[in-house]
């Protein structure tokens, strides 16, 4: 395999500029590159078309130059790119991150904390989003610790649907007290609308504000879903 073939990434979609809907970058104007493939299979995943057998969207193999060309055409004045998935940490995104930086972009990555490739250390900001009990996934504490150790400027985000998820989030906070923690109200694609999402956010805010050990927590919705529902490409 040639060097350029190795640098090609399996791309599901490139879109934006839109608003970052989640985490500490919430509301920021950014473009997105969504990569195919995931090592987990969360029951409530909101992007199954990036990985689920039978639901997978068409995949294009694109190199850094291809992606820079597309991003430049989409948002000539937008200087932020978010790499998401699936789990982008499955791939060697090092060459892409280098090319984006050379192109003057700030790079944000979203990953669940199961893989800790060295290139995460070169990214500007990394949101690590381990999954609670309602996802059906078992905790991967060593993977989470390794990802937080390699990421240059990590923050943590835990999606919460249930009391068990909230207890899990508190445990994440206890294990990693130095990393900013955001609790995100869960979203079931095909079931939730703005009203039910706001109701869950209200419950989560009330619980988190009163919970022991939630000293410096942040509570946020998925802003893009409140705005545009569970549509692709926004």
Q: Which is nearer to a second copy, 150 or 170 (CB)?
A: 170
The DSSP symbol for 233 reads T
**Do 123 and 151 form a contact (C-beta atoms < 8 A)?**
yes
Closer residue to a second copy in complex, CB, 17/121: 17
Whole-number minimum distance, CB 51 to a second copy, in Å? 28
Q: How far apart are CB 33 and a second copy at their closest, in Å?
A: 17
In this complex, which beta carbon is closest to a second copy, that of residue 8 or of residue 200? 200
Give residues in contact with a second copy (CB under 8 A): 17-19, 26-29, 77-80, 182, 194-195, 198, 201-202, 205, 208-209, 212-221, 223, 226-228
In angstroms, what is the minimal distance from the CB of 168 to a second copy? 18
Instruction: Compute the least distance from the CB of residue 190 to a second copy, in Å.
Output: 20
User: Which pairs from 217-221 meet CB under 8 Å and 24+ separation?
Assistant: 217/173, 217/181, 217/182, 217/183, 218/24, 218/180, 218/181, 218/182, 218/183, 219/182, 219/183, 219/184, 219/185, 220/22, 220/23, 220/26, 220/182, 220/183, 220/184, 220/185, 221/184, 221/185, 221/197
Q: Which is nearer to a second copy, 80 or 91 (CB)?
A: 80
């Amino acid at each position: 395999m040639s060097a350029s073939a190795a640098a090609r990434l399996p791309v599901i979609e490139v879109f934006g500029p839109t608003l970052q809907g989640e985490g500490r970058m919430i509301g920021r104007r950014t473009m997105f590159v969504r990569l195919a493939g995931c090592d987990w299979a969360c029951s409530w995943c909101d992007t199954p078309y990036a990985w689920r057998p039978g639901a997978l969207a068409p995949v294009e193999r694109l190199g850094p130059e291809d992606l820079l060309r597309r991003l430049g055409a989409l948002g000539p004045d937008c200087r932020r790119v978010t790499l998401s998935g699936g789990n982008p940490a499955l791939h060697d995104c090092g060459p892409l991150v280098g090319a984006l930086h050379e192109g003057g972009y700030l790079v944000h990555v979203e990953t669940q904390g199961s893989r800790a490739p060295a290139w995460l250390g070169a990214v500007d900001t990394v949101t690590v989003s381990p999954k609670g009990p309602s996802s059906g996934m078992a905790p991967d504490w060593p993977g989470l610790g390794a990802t937080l150790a390699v990421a240059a400027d990590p923050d943590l985000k835990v999606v919460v649907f249930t009391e068990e998820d909230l207890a899990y989030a508190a445990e994440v906070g206890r294990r990693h007290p130095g990393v900013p923690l955001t609790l995100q109200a869960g979203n079931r694609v095909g079931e939730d609308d703005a009203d039910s999402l706001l109701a869950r956010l209200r419950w989560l805010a009330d619980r988190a504000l009163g919970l022991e050990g939630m000293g410096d927590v942040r509570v946020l919705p998925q802003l893009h879903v409140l705005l545009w529902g569970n549509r692709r490409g926004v």
